[in-house]
Structure 1
Amino acid sequence: MEHIKVELKTINTIFPSVAEAFVNDSLVAYICENKDANRESKPQSVVLTTGENLGDYCCIKCAVKAIAKKHLGEDGIYIAGDNPLAQFGAFGMLLAALAELPTEKSPHEAG
């Protein structure tokens, strides 16, 4: 099992706010406020460093999970740092895999 560090750094706090998303110290995407018609239900947008729009998400947590899955692959189980299982490291990941927690396997659908 691999421990992956995803870090956000705010680069613009003036409307619209923008944050850089790093995976293992490599800049891979930007998260910004969604300005499209669906912004009420999906207020966060993800743009990859290539300029590709990864999608719109309901929250920062789901946007970060989508970035991790895009960068690292679809076959992993991604556990956010605020999940109680995260404090158990690899053992927590194993428990999540055994339980097949649907809310932790993938982010909400991109729009």
Structure 2
Amino acid sequence: MATLYLSHPACLEHRVPADHPERPARLEAVEKILAHDHFAALQREEAPRAEREHLLLAHTEEHVAAIEDAVPGPQERMRPIDPDTWLSAGSWEAALRAAGAG
């Protein structure tokens, strides 16, 4: 049985401060390791985009709307929504792909 690895380039567009653990460099490091021949048997697929109905299985409409509305526009670099959570223009698509990966 193969191990499925789901990812999407949009996940690299979730920008956070340089010292934050969810920074793109962390995912890039994982991708670099998984590119090694040792992991050639991985079944790799692009993570699908979650639909709003899927998000609502775990979150209220108010929460989903609040996060979507908080995502900064392309001209704004990033913004915190709490002490640990940052959003950038690419965060919404990255979140939808992460949720779609399931």
- Fold in common (TM above 0.5): no
Write 1 or 2 for the structure with the bigger share of strand.
1
Q: Please indicate the TM-score interval, normalised by the length of the shorter structure.
A: under 0.3
Structure 2 length normalisation: TM-score?
0.24
Write 1 or 2 for the structure with the bigger share of helix.
2
Structure 1 length normalisation: TM-score?
0.23
Q: Which has the higher contact order (CA 8 A, sep 6+)?
A: 2
